[in-house]
């Protein structure tokens, strides 16, 4: 995995005064440090683990790299409709994990200690702990700061399942150490991480069963989630819903997960993927007079601590949406406040997210159910299926749908399932962020043939009944045609 060498820790105590102290070198912390120092602030950055945080080392980057390997393996078995004889791929799991490692290694310099020192940031590879509201101890160093940004991220949530303390299990942090392919992988948790890793490992040759206490992909629109789940089941992934785990047992290589209703599942490996827990432990938050809960630091919409006005929180530890791009967005919010004293608040209604299964699943704003609850009687839903998109038909990627929730002519949410949904959602994220009207999206010219036309066609579908089923419009057209010279 990523072997970032830390600068040797010095034993010489130092007292440091700075403008901005950032605790944590994940996405939010690095963005904050880079932005602040390049605008002229004195910045100290603390990190006692790997530079780049969870996203680079354990999350977004390695998972997408493994999904890419799995995609290549799957393509070898799925070419018949295109005139390509299917063959069984010979999967070298260790080399697939080598691709993961190389991907991390390639990206790591962007997040490295050397780069940030070059920008002018004082990087200290020690854990920070508050000793006063404006002071943090980091190894032998005592740091006093005008503003402190907590960016410590989150860690895999390990639930109190009976027997789990005696059974070997994996999380998204330890999965990447594997070099032998799991024979039968059990995954507890049917959210994005669980489903992505389920499909990846099934395509790489493992038997996979997902065990979910509620509904798999339960936070997404159920109509669109069903498209993804149907594909995974067709590929051989077992998905057991409403299966709340009662206990786990067994030694390495022979693990049993038993549900409360008596269902039992056997496997060689166990992956726990039930969510994330904010990293608020061992930070001395009490001494810093920083209020917190298991969800994270208690902050207002300005991401400022409700109890210590010197302190801000960004990313997962801020107790809001837990995505890398949200951490980057948060950093922009706090930089405006810290450096320029401008009022700045974090919003969530325009934040998109995606699950990178095949097909992908993406969302921005309100789902249909949420929109109807928030705007009763005022929601119109515009839809366009991928099987009417020429590019999707040409590529055999017709399992998909764009669905847009509209109130008074403006989109308040968009849900997409299908190939490249994570890219396609960007148009709707922009539309919602900028307060655009559906007419402006419908007026967009998309190149032909592209999947991007699906968004334009969905916007057009909103106007179709107004134009083609409107008697007044038809009368006006007839009058124009009759009297126009």
Binding site per annotation, positions for NAD(+): 189-196, 212, 275
Structural tokens at position 155: 């860690």
Contacts (Cβ under 8 Å, ≥6 apart) of 309? none
Element (H, E) at 199: helix 192-203
Residue closest to 293 by CA, chosen among 276, 303, 281: 281
Which position has the token pair 């005592």? 142
Over its C-alpha atoms, the chain yields an Rg (Å, rounded) of: 25
Residue closest to 85 by CA, chosen among 71, 75, 70: 75
238-240, strands of its sheet edge to edge: 238-240, 207-211, 184-188, 269-272
Angstrom distances, CA of residue 308 to CA of 39, 133, 148, 341, 476: 24, 7, 10, 16, 64
CA 49 to chain centre: 21
Element (H, E) at 239: strand 238-240
Residue list for the binding site for FAD: 64, 128, 152-154, 316
Whether 229 and 361 have beta carbons less than 8 Å apart is answered as: no
Distance, in Å, from the CA atom of 151 to the CA atom of 153, rounded to the nearest integer, reads 6
Neighbours of 16 (CB within 10 A): 16
Residue list for the binding site: 64, 128, 152-154, 189-196, 212, 275, 316
Angstrom distances, CA of residue 282 to CA of 114, 155, 278, 279: 27, 14, 12, 9
Whether 65 and 72 have beta carbons less than 8 Å apart is answered as: no
Q: DSSP class of residue 213?
A: S
């Amino acid at each position: 995995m990523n072997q970032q060498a830390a600068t040797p820790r010095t034993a010489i105590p130092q007292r440091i005064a700075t403008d901005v102290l950032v605790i944590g070198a994940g996405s939010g912390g690095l963005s904050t440090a880079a932005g602040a120092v390049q605008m002229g602030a004195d910045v100290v950055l603390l990190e006692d683990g790997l530079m780049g945080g969870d996203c680079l080392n354990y999350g977004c980057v390695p998972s997408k790299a493994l999904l890419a390997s799995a995609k290549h393996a799957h393509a070898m078995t799925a070419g018949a409709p295109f005139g390509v004889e299917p063959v069984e791929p010979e999967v070298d799991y260790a080399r697939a994990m080598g691709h993961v490692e190389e991907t991390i290694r390639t990206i790591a310099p962007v997040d490295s200690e050397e780069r940030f020192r070059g920008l002018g940031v004082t990087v200290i590879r020690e854990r920070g702990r508050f000793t006063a509201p404006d002071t943090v101890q980091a190894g032998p160093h005592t740091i006093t700061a005008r503003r402190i940004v907590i960016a410590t991220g989150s860690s895999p949530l390990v639930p109190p399942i009976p027997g789990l303390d005696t059974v070997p299990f994996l999380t998204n942090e330890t999965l990447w150490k594997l070099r032998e392919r799991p024979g039968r992988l059990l995954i507890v948790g049917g959210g994005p991480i669980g489903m992505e890793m389920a499909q990846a490992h099934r395509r790489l040759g493992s038997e996979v069963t997902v065990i979910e206490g509620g509904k798999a992909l339960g936070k997404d629109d159920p109509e669109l989630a069903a498209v993804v789940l149907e594909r995974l089941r067709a590929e051989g992934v077992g998905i057991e819903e409403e299966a709340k785990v009662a206990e786990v047992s067994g030694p390495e290589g022979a693990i049993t997960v038993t549900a409360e209703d008596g269902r039992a599942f056997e496997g060689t490996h166990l992956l726990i993927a039930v969510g994330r827990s904010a990293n608020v432990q061992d930070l001395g938050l009490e001494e810093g007079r920083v209020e917190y809960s298991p969800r994270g630091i208690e902050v207002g919409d300005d991401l400022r601590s409700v109890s210590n006005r010197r302190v801000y929180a960004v990313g997962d530890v801020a107790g809001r949406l837990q995505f890398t791009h949200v951490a980057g967005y948060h950093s922009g919010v706090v930089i405006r406040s810290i450096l320029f004293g401008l009022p700045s608040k974090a919003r969530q209604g325009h934040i998109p997210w995606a699950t990178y299964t095949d097909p992908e699943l993406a969302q921005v704003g309100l789902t249909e159910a949420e929109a109807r609850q928030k705007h009763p009687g005022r929601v119109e839903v515009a839809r366009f299926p991928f099987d009417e998109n020429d590019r999707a038909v040409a590529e055999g990627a017709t399992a998909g749908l764009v669905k847009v929730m509209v109130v008074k002519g403006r989109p308040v949410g968009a849900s997409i399932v299908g190939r490249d949904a994570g890219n396609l959602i960007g148009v709707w994220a922009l539309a919602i962020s900028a307060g655009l009207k559906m007419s402006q999206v419908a007026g967009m010219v998309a190149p032909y043939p592209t999947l991007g036309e699906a968004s334009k066609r969905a916007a057009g579908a909103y106007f179709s009944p107004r134009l083609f089923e409107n008697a007044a419009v038809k009368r006006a057209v007839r009058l124009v045609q009759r009297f126009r010279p």
